[in-house]
Amino acid sequence: MGFKKIDGGVCAAKGFLANGLNCGLNSNKDKNDLCLVFSEALCNAAAVYTQNKVKGAPITVTKKHLEKSGGKAQAVIANSKNANTCNADGVEKAERMCRLAASVLNIEPEKVIVASTGVIGKVLPIEPIENSIDSLAKGLSHTANEKAATAIMTTDTVKKEAAVQFEIDGVVCTLGGMAKGSGMIHPNMATTLNFITTDAAISSQLLQKALSDIVKVTYNCLSIDGDTSTNDMVSIMANGLAGNSEIVEENENYSIFKDALYEVLMTLTKMLAKDGEGATRMIECTCCGAPDLDTAIIVAKSVVRSPLLKCAIFGSDANWGRILCAIGYAEADFDITKVDVDMRSRKGTIAVCRNGSGVEFSEDEAKTILLEDEIYIDINLHSGNTQAKAWGCDLTYDYVKINGDYRS
Catalytic residue positions, numbered: 191
Phi and psi based region of residue 246 (left: phi greater than 0; alpha: psi -120 to 50; beta: remaining) = beta
> Are the beta carbons of 391 and 273 closer than 8 angstroms?
yes
Q: Rounded to whole angstroms, how far apart are CA atoms 190 and 204?
A: 24
Count of other CB atoms within 10 angstroms of residue 106: 8
> Are the beta carbons of 150 and 180 closer than 8 angstroms?
no
* Spacing of C-alpha 230 from chain mean position: 14
Q: Rounded to whole angstroms, how far apart are CA atoms 149 and 7?
A: 13
> Are the beta carbons of 21 and 34 closer than 8 angstroms?
yes
Exposure string over 130-159, b if 16+ CB within 10 A, otherwise e = eebbeebbebbeeebbbbbbbbbbbbbeeb
User: In terms of DSSP H, where are the helices of 329-387?
Assistant: 363-370
Q: Helix (H, G, I), strand (E, B), or coil: what is residue 139?
A: coil
> Are the beta carbons of 42 and 74 closer than 8 angstroms?
yes
Q: Rounded to whole angstroms, how far apart are CA atoms 264 and 240?
A: 18
Exposure string over 367-395, b if 16+ CB within 10 A, otherwise e = eebbebeebbbbbbbebeebbbbbbbbbb
138: enclosing H helix or E strand = helix 127-138
β-partners of residue 44 are 72, 238
Q: What is the DSSP string of 213-260?
A: HHHHHTGGGB-SSSPPPSS-EEEEEE--TT-PPPB-SSSHHHHHHHHH
Count of other CB atoms within 10 angstroms of residue 250: 12
Question: Phi/psi of residue 261, each to 5°?
Answer: -65, -40
* Spacing of C-alpha 45 from chain mean position: 17
HSE of 38, CA atoms in CB hemisphere, 13 A = 26
